[in-house]
Structure 1
Amino acid sequence: MAQRPERADAQRNREAVLAAADALFAASSSPHSVSMDDIAAAAGVGKGTLFRRFGDRAGLIGAVIASRLEPLRQEAARRSRDTAGSSPRRRVKDLLDASLRFKIENRNLMAAAEDAGLSSPYQAEHYGWWHDILRVALDQVPGVHDPDFTAHALLAAIRADLVVHLIEDQKMSPGGLRSSLAAHIDNVLGNSPEPSGTHNGR
């Protein structure tokens, strides 16, 4: 049986809740302090609406992350269809840089996801998506013998809690962090030459 389309008022409420939660997490220096009551009040809906729609705080945070990730998903899909202008190594670097930039820009939100009692960051839907597209790119890089593990290992270098620690506690600049990640990727992938017919480029 086909799923009934969402009512217009329900869609408006969902968008209001996601926008309110996004704004509150972005503005708070202590993500765990943002409560469901705070989000409901900012969105102008009852707290019961949040629980009925998203299940719990972790479900709501996951929905906000998914909403923020959608433009990146669309860009990644476009790039996967048009690979003529970049080498496999370049695609790996671009994917990881995009993931790092997302975590830098949304570090409070990502920290809130880890603080929300999720059983494991590796069970999160967004983690599975990043791992899958990175594994596919790594599979095309010469000399990478285990793309699945390598994808996990590279993503571990940009865990949200590490990004928060390096930027907030160690006062590392976003640009410095991105440069360090690029150097780390070079170390992991080695200096194997690209297959003929490919070239680097953004």
Structure 2
Amino acid sequence: MENSNGLESASARASGESKPSAGKRPAREAPARGSLPVLGQPAPERADAARNRLRILDAAARLHAEHGIAGLNMDDVATAAGVGKGTLYRRFTDKAGLAAALLDERGRQLHERLMYGPAPLGPGAPGLERLTAFVAAYVEHTVRSLDLVLLSETGTPGGRLAKPVYPFWRRHVEVLMEAAGTPDPRVRAEALLAMLSAEQLQHWTVTDGRPVPALIETLGRAARALAAS
């Protein structure tokens, strides 16, 4: 049986979070935007810059909800947000950057559940149980926003590995595998995350038409086998 406190502490160190005091859980209020390491700590903003960022993200979310990934045309987003194109491009650079920003809040919510939520996804369960729960949650998270995740991972060469959140996912899986006694957990963590890439999940769920629940069960078994080898 793993030491769940040690596991939580290691995950917290990997993510940049400080460990709660012994015997105490953090306040269950929503974390401040930027406090979780999904897209890193944002630089301090002027009030007008913060307002523009929120207007852009709100406009992008509306267009994506109405038109899917095709709705994230940068010119259309700038028009819908009522900002200049220069403002939009300075903030998000390209369509992939805008997709990553839209994924930010959902990623923060998953991070919160991993760090502080109930077991087995959160602390308190053995490593293999938490690993299986992570696979299920990660697949659901990715499939729910598959077009956005695909763009954020494939919009630029090496995009999946370059995503600011990737080191946290990798370290979280690595710590779970360490708790399960897995040899060479770093490489195996990266191998598991490669199996869970958006491109691979799209192939299984869209091209092959595999039902998500059945795929989650299969991938959970694969994760346990990889961790136990």
The answer to whether the Cα contact below 8 Å between 1:96 and 1:155 also exists between their aligned partners in 2 is no
Q: Map Cα deviations across residues 79-136 of structure 1 (whole Å, 9 max, x no partner).
A: 499733x111111112222211111101010111134224431111122221111111
**1:136 counterpart letter in structure 2:** V
CA distance in 2, matches of 1:4, 1:183: 41
Matched, 1:169 2:207: yes
Displacement of 1:26:
5.2
**Counterpart in the other structure of 1:65:** 103
Stretches of 4+ aligned residues off by more than 6 angstroms: none
Q: Map Cα deviations across residues 143-197 of structure 1 (whole Å, 9 max, x no partner).
A: x101101100111111101111212221111212211111212322349xxxxxx
The answer to whether the Cα contact below 8 Å between 1:92 and 1:137 also exists between their aligned partners in 2 is yes
Name the CA shift for 1:5/1:179 in 2 (closer, same or farther; >3 Å): same
CA distance in 1, matches of 2:70, 2:170: 26
2:198 counterpart (155, 160, 166): 160
**Counterpart in the other structure of 2:151:** 112
Matched, 1:83 2:123: yes
**Counterpart in the other structure of 2:23:** none
SS in 1 for 2:183: coil
CA distance in 1, matches of 2:149, 2:85: 22
Displacement of 1:7:
4.0
**Counterpart in the other structure of 1:148:** 186
SS in 1 for 2:83: coil
The answer to whether the Cα contact below 8 Å between 1:26 and 1:106 also exists between their aligned partners in 2 is no
**1:64 counterpart letter in structure 2:** L
Matched, 1:132 2:181: no
**2:87 counterpart letter in structure 1:** T
**1:174 counterpart letter in structure 2:** V
Name the CA shift for 1:57/1:138 in 2 (closer, same or farther; >3 Å): same
The answer to whether the Cα contact below 8 Å between 1:22 and 1:109 also exists between their aligned partners in 2 is no
Q: Which runs of 5+ in 1 are unaligned?
A: 192-202
Between the two proteins, the alignment pairs up a number of residues equal to 186
CA distance in 2, matches of 1:177, 1:4: 39
SS in 2 for 1:6: coil
The answer to whether the Cα contact below 8 Å between 1:88 and 1:141 also exists between their aligned partners in 2 is yes
**Counterpart in the other structure of 1:47:** 85
CA RMSD of aligned residues (A): 2.7
Q: Which has the higher contact order (CA 8 A, sep 6+)?
A: 1
SS in 1 for 2:113: helix
TM-score, normalized by length of structure 2? 0.70
The answer to whether the Cα contact below 8 Å between 2:135 and 2:216 also exists between their aligned partners in 1 is no
